[in-house]
Structure 1
């Protein structure tokens, strides 16, 4: 693929001027008031909208705070939020909710019926229980410099209450029922469903629940100069077409800031396409602190135990696919990196990501994943609308993806299958932390619903419709107009096909039916002119395809990535669980404790992914470390931490066809002991200009040949044949320039490919693969099989480059000449500030995860220094207090840089101080 052949998105054609209205309707004229009950305000606002809808007009919110429940939008009606206007979410009585609180006499609109619930998460299935809601509308605009908020400060305690909740009501027990079980509440800020010609401009949203803004199945959407600062997803654009987002700031520490999705939530099979994003900022500071201008950062990790989220991401809901997206000039701050995921059977293609800056990256700077989570609808063998489908259906796992075999539903007959694995074997490596892997003695389960036995022979049950017009699942092209249309021609049944005899050893392959014949794909991606600084050392750029669905045609050009470094190949072998406890107080919230994973994060890395990367040495009768034998995990949740610590610090590419690396620079603040790049099952790689830090005893590139590969999803099914994959077509067009990372190290240049590349061969299945006649040796390195760590977990050193000491940010300061400026700096160090308390994590669905085993911290002396110290100012390092009385000659803006240093590297924080004239002047 040429660097410049990908088409660029054009985005929306609508602009604010196209939707201007001449008539205004003031909500106070209809009975709304700051002191009015929320139910009264709700009726007044919706009455104003109804009046404006009669002839088209703008509903105006004047300055003031108006508590309300669901505002129902109408076609040809705009909402204008005057400066100082606050649309505030009203409380609901939630006696059984995890955020139980006294209500204010009303509730949000009841979650609607969505027959396709379960094909995506609950929050993408129900939208009417939002603060502002509109479906199947056209020509609407929300604008003005006011605020929409789901937060409320408690007058007595000052605690910020999350009125719009991050969780979801409990899902119904039938696809024909409303989207809750008894209790429901508001959990979204703005929800727009199947709307056309929409403008969002100038306003702010804070504490927006599960989704501060979600656009679901919309067309022609223009967004400009909005700020979203919230607790979960800030802005989701799901299955939309023709979208432009400009000059927008999205902050979310615990979830995505700006997220592109392609779910089935709108009830239509529509890809996300033609999306243009320019000149935006995404970040992961404490919720509410960005809108307040304080940018606090006391919470170190999200609920999922990875670092602050806050990123721009494709996925994870990806049933319908993505096409034609252009992203440029976006700044990432204190967030995970750029993320592209296609894991639900559809395609992701024609993406440009360029001219972007990423600082303080808490995950892979760039993450591309083609996976096979297979969240794709499949028609079941029964007409029951019970949700999830009954346990005798075409899937053993995740039966929420099974649709009733009934004419009221789109028809998606089974097109392929995946196994069911019994992850019921509990193992431990260090005697402290335990986890489940595939049971080596009973690894799989069969599903008789998908085959028929006759005289000791087995035959696949296949779909036979009343009309073969449905043979190739034409319903995937359902139009927007018939999103609820019937498909009587597709009605049919699963019957035995006596021409499709199955071997008994292959029966486990047919446990879970999938309604798509293809696996997910990622192709035609251009990423160029990107600068990354201060990246988490655990996660390289990660390009991860599937054995049977390679990522294709990827160009990385003019990329500079600075990692913190400091890890070793031992970390990549051992996959240690090394945790401490951290007490924090987020922006105006109660003090809490969270569990920090310094190496492997067990929230995403699970099962076989937690086993050490080691192979059995039959000759010496012992385990040998093999960091290159990385498990596939095709159905795992796609997050860079899923694969633990990898043998490359810069880039790890697996199952990729057509990869160009042009003008790439990888550096480390502290030397790292791993390869710069590792390639595994990669074809046609062009390395055209690379500079990197690399230890002198380490080859910069490793190329893996794996003799024990199996087809996707069949990795752990016994007696499935193995085959070999290798790296082919690797070309190095210009010499590699390498530094060893030490202060006095001199660069060296490698010209010959043989000097640049280490050839690695794998002669064992991935850790945890059940033994069979094809490989009878042990595969699960754990205490039970004689594997042990050389250093006990309690004595293992913390990798201090993972979580760094920091100075809590200070908001800009304004003082007058002659006035004393006193700033007490708050310095924290995760390595030494370890809490004695431990707590399990409570997820948004109320589930509590059991506490992880934790170790003690380490003493880490800190030195506090100051740069750009104004004349007359001083810093007392003992009590970290900055004192300064500016003179008349020092009027103007001053930028003071404070640094904390633990001996590895300094961490800096800048304060802006503006000195003004005295009051008399």
Structure 2
């Protein structure tokens, strides 16, 4: 297992290094710049410059490619469409401001966005400048349109009192594109997902900063059915999932493949790193390493195969998370009218250290995670398949998780003699809190075939009424070097319907 992953990781690094070199060679050949000021743009923070910026992009494309320069100043714009061979370059004091007028945005094949591309090759967004979606005001303006009768009720979430994510413009949406670079820029204040790349090939995102604790559904980076993706050296502060890999192609011809994510820092009121929830086709051959996580509401690592697709061949290593609500959440489910449960197999997670707090970790956020409608103690990490649909071939190695403890059966109670009462919930949206109170404080594992746990350290700071670990309906379980601190109960590990176990 480990030798195979080492070779896979090294081959992926070589492949992506070659992509970087080729991209840089291609874009360095563009000698001509197209300054948007020369096309009528006005940097006063008032004038809507959509047509002027688009004119510069169109000219660069028509003349074989080049850099469209956004100079110092504040430039308001609605939707602009990048075309093949064009690099949008923002100077260090340049600010591209999204219009707060909903009518200034268009759709191509999917949702609305500020910077868009569809079917373009060799495109880029670069520079030390900022793209500011002004998302809070834009979203509130859209919200007011519903009450004015200008947005259909089908586009509005009445329970949450806000427009659907699909109605609110993103900042970046690239679809069906090839050879993409997004480097160095700051992207902030989205009304919806911050940036989406769907059915793209050869994508490099490097050294960008995302600051979007602005409105609901502010995913930092969403990768949908893309191949050959490299995300490195990024800082993500988002009021939903930080970096999310998804698959939404129902014809199953497109999928996520060869994804490399490294050296990033993430703060999120969702999950820091998430594979799924959208998992229709495949997400495979993924390497994630050297990630720092802090002040994150949900899971540091979430892997969710819940729409009939396949998640496989995943290596996650060197993750350090502090003040994070949950360490590891791995789930098979069957949601959104999927015909069958998902498949989840061949995953290695190693060199992980997580500190779970007693209080809400995202209390300082503007857009905080939702309160739960029931009482519960601190949730453990959970690894749960479905009956007859096991998670397969999972390795956890060099894992240290520190919990606050304080689990009280008087506050919420799920004793081990009631393990059958833990619901399956195959059709429920996957979250680490989905089952309610769980019967262990460290790990809860159910419906798994092939689990190896090596050098696992679990610690609670104060007593908890629950055992450290529960294994229910698990086959081929190996535990090597398990240490539990702060819990002196004799039955700290509970096994139920476990076959072929080797614990030492």
Instruction: Report whether the alignment pairs 1:60 with 2:69.
Output: yes
Q: Offset of 1:571 from its aligned partner? A: 4.7
In the TM superposition, what are the counterparts of 1:623-634 in structure 2 within 5 Å?
A: 626=418, 629-634=421-426
Partner residue of 1:78? 87
Choose between structure 1 and 2 for higher RCO, CA contacts under 8 A separated by at least 6 residues: 1
Deviation at 1:569, TM superposition (A): 4.3
**Out of 17, 24, 46, which is 1:17 matched to?**
24
CA distance in 1, matches of 2:470, 2:114: 48
Within 1, Cα distance between the matches of 2:83 and 2:75? 20
Q: Deviations over 1:814-860 (max 9, x none)?
A: xxxxxxxxxxxxxxxxxxxxxxxxxxxxxxxxxxxxxxxxxxxxxxx
The Cα shift of 1:187 comes to: 1.5
Distance (Å, rounded) in 1 between the aligned partners of 2:412 and 2:502: 26
Q: Tell me if 1:257 matches 2:242.
A: yes
Q: CA deviation at 1:530?
A: 0.8
In the alignment, is residue 190 of structure 1 matched against residue 181 of structure 2? no
CA distance, structure 1, for counterparts of residue 121 and residue 252 of structure 2: 18
Aligned-residue offset at 1:65? 0.4
Match of 2:278 in 1: 317
**Residue ranges of structure 1 left out of the alignment (5+ in a row):** 94-105, 115-125, 153-159, 174-180, 285-307, 377-513, 575-612, 615-624, 705-725, 734-921
Aligned-pair RMSD on alpha carbons?
Answer: 2.5
Aligned to 2:465: 673
Query: Aligned to 1:348, what secondary structure does the other structure show?
Result: strand
Count residues with an aligned counterpart: 454
* CA distance in 2 between partners of 1:538 and 1:38 (Å): 51
Q: In proportion to residue count, which structure has more helix?
A: 2
Per the TM alignment, residue 140 of structure 1 is displaced from its structure 2 partner at its CA by 0.4
* Alignment counterpart, residue 366 of structure 1, candidates 322, 328, 336: 328
Deviations 1:664-704 (A, max 9, x none): 00001222221111001000111100111354344011112
Offset at 1:519?
Answer: 2.8
Whether the aligned pair in 1 keeps the contact of 2:462 and 2:486 (CA below 8 Å) is: no
Aligned to 2:363: none
Distance in 1, matches of 2:489 and 2:342, equals 39
- For residues 185 and 25 of structure 1, the distance between their equivalents in structure 2, rounded to whole angstroms, comes to 32
Partner of 1:562: 402
Query: Distance in 2 between the 1:66 and 1:273 partners?
Result: 37
Aligned counterpart, 2:455: 663
Q: Residue 264 of structure 2 corresponds to which residue in structure 1?
A: 280
In 2 relative to 1, CA 38–237 (structure 1 residues): closer, same or farther, beyond 3 Å? farther
Partner of residue 495 from structure 2, selected from 703, 714, 726 = 703
Matched with 1:333 is 294
Which TM-score applies when normalising by structure 2?
0.85
The structure with the largest alpha-carbon Rg is 1
Q: Does 1:545 align with 2:385?
A: yes
Question: In structure 2, how many angstroms separate the alpha carbons of the residues matched to 1:648 and 1:316?
Answer: 25
Q: Distance in 1 between matches of 2:343 and 2:320?
A: 27
Within the candidate set 628, 640, 660, 2:432 is matched to 640
Q: Which residues in structure 2 correspond to 1:38-187 (within 5 Å)?
A: 38-39=47-48, 41-54=49-62, 55-92=64-101, 106-109=103-106, 111-112=107-108, 126-127=110-111, 129-151=112-134, 161-162=137-138, 186-187=168-169
Residue deviations 1:502-521, cap 9 Å, x none? xxxxxxxxxxxx3xxx5311
Give the alignment of 1:761-780 within 5 angstroms.
none
- 8 Å contact from structure 2 (residues 381, 442) kept in 1: yes
Report whether the alignment pairs 1:243 with 2:229: yes
Of the structure 1 ranges 16-25 and 44-53, higher mean CA displacement relative to structure 2 is found in: 16-25
Give deviations 1:159-211, integer Å, cap 9, x for gaps: x73559898975989xxxxxxx9xx9652000000100000000011112211
How far is the alpha carbon of 1:91 from its aligned partner? 1.8
Distance 1:163 1:526, change over 3 A: same
Question: 2:478 is matched with which residue?
Answer: 686
**1:572 CA drift (Å):** 5.0
* Equivalent position of 1:534 in the other structure: 356
Q: Give the match for residue 499 of structure 2.
A: 728
Residues 312 and 65 from structure 1, CA distance in 2 versus in 1: closer, same or farther, beyond 3 angstroms?
Answer: same
Contact 2:470 2:494 in 1 (8 A): yes
1:737-771 CA deviation, whole Å, 9 max, x = no partner? xxxxxxxxxxxxxxxxxxxxxxxxxxxxxxxxxxx
Larger proportion of strand: 2
How many angstroms apart in 2 are the aligned matches of 1:136 and 1:165?
31
Q: Tell me if the contact between 1:365 and 1:535 (Cα under 8 Å) persists in the aligned partners.
A: no
Q: Is the 8 A contact 2:100 2:134 kept in 1?
A: no
Conservation of the 8 A alpha-carbon contact between 2:461 and 2:486: no
- How far apart, CA to CA, are the structure 1 residues paired with 2:76 and 2:292? 34
Offset of 1:573 from its aligned partner? 2.7
SS of 1:661's equivalent in the other structure is strand
Q: What does 1:406-445 correspond to in 2, within 5 Å?
A: none
Shift, 1:218, TM fit:
0.6
Q: Does 1:228 align with 2:191?
A: no
